[in-house]
A and B are shown apart, each in its own frame.
Chain A
Amino acid sequence: MTMSGNLDRRAVVADLLRDRGGLMVVSGLGSPSYDVMAAGDHDLNYYLWAAMGSAMTVGLGLATAQPTRPVVVITGDGEALMGFGALATIALRRPPNLSLVILDNGHFGETGMQPSHTGQGIEFTRVAEACGFPTVDLVTERQGVEPLRRRIHAMAGLNLAVVKIAAENLPRALPPRDAVHVKNRFRQALGFSPA
């Protein structure tokens, strides 16, 4: 049996990014990037279009370089599985301003809804706990989203949340694909100029 949740991914991400202030967002390739885009394009969004497995490490580098601002990585179970080892790397660094949010539908949604490892029993919450993440959260109900949003802004400690979403493919909301543009506008929003 393949497990997935029932939360609406677009509603969850829209709720998480409400009143975002100085929040910086890194999104994993595929549907999480569409979800972040659907919630509203923003200069402080960095969307990954490839480099599968890199969303969490981009977030780690960003949180380390900008320790006074909150950073959230919003990615999917498939993307996070490819960066499995990054959880160990991030657990050693423990930046207090970094939150990892895994939108977990238990499937590789972009490629035909093949069941993923998380849909067959591997739980990222348990992996993060084993790695020593100070805070690990499992969100299965809509009421769990607002406490997660507040935790992202609190910068009170490295944390990871698994959000159990429904396995469905929604209409794509395509982020800008010019990565040089997205990189430069992100840096300019922080006061850095292009080379």
Chain B
Amino acid sequence: MTPHDTPDWRRQVFDVLKAAGVKHIAYVPDAGHATALRLAEADPDINAVVLTTEEEGIGYLAGAWLGGERGALLMQSSGVGNCINTLGLVAMARFPFLTVVTMRGDWAEFNQHQNPMGQATEAALKLMGVMTWRADHAADVAPLLKGAATMAFEGDGACAVLLGQRLIGEKAWVQ
């Protein structure tokens, strides 16, 4: 596949969310989300909400849904650990929940301290009743996210799309 054949998945994350009617993007930044976050912050129809910790996004999106609007949480895999107890709110009320998670501690990780949470991320989500899909190839990002958005917003599902480190690329030490 030539570079011209590789979808711009970083942009597609935003485009798919926008097309799904998302009006709120709550986030703790990660480099892999930088493009989507830049687009969200620049879009006057999107409330881009920077959080101090990821579980704030679960409450925020539940409130937005009570008020009739759709949203998504963008975070890194380490943030999934911060969300565990709060995901009980999603489970008990069947709030639609859509999150896009950039992985660390997943493949070619230079900082082994990311590994424990990274290796537990998908299992932790499943333990709390969140359905998961993994994208390790650029071509998979848009269709997986689109399908997850359908199951979240049309079926009150809790849905996570994990973006693997093989997709994002190796993060190098910055000297």
- A contact set with B: CB distance below 8 Å: 24, 26, 46, 48-66, 83, 85-86, 88-89, 92-93, 179-180, 182-183, 186-187, 190-192, 195
Q: Is the CB of A51 within 8 A of B63?
A: no
New A-B contacts (20) at CB < 8 Å, excluding given A58-B63, A64-B49: A48-B89, A54-B59, A57-B56, A58-B66, A60-B59, A61-B63, A62-B64, A62-B67, A63-B63, A64-B67, A65-B24, A86-B56, A89-B51, A93-B47, A179-B92, A179-B93, A180-B94, A186-B66, A191-B68, A195-B155
Q: Which residue in A61, A180, A182, A183 is a CB contact (below 8 Å) of B59?
A: A61
Query: What is the CB-to-nearest-CB distance from A162 to chain B, in angstroms, rounded to a whole number?
Result: 20
Secondary structure class of chain A's binding surface, majority of residues? helix
- Chain B residues in contact with chain A, CB under 8 A? 23-24, 47, 49-53, 55-69, 71, 85-86, 88-89, 92-96, 153-156
Q: Are A88 and B63 in contact (CB under 8 A)?
A: no
Tell whether, in the assembled complex, residue B63 and residue A57 are in contact, meaning their CB atoms are under 8 Å apart.
yes
- A182 — which chain B residues lie within 8 A by C-beta? 93
Q: Which residues of A contact B58 (CB under 8 A)?
A: 51, 54, 57
| B interface majority secondary structure | mixed
- Cβ-neighbour of A49 out of B55, B62, B92 (below 8 A): B92
Complex alpha-carbon distance, A62 and B71, angstroms: 12
In whole angstroms, what is the CA distance A55 to B85 when docked?
A: 14
Q: By the criterion CB–CB under 8 Å, are B59 and A55 in contact?
A: yes
Q: Which residues of B contact A187 (CB under 8 A)?
A: 65-66, 68
**What residues of chain B lie closer than 8 Å to A24, measured between beta carbons?**
66
Decide if A180 touches B68 in the complex (CB within 8 Å): no
Give every chain B residue within 8 A of A192 (Cβ-Cβ).
Answer: 68
| Nearest-neighbor residue (CB-CB) of B157 within chain A | A195
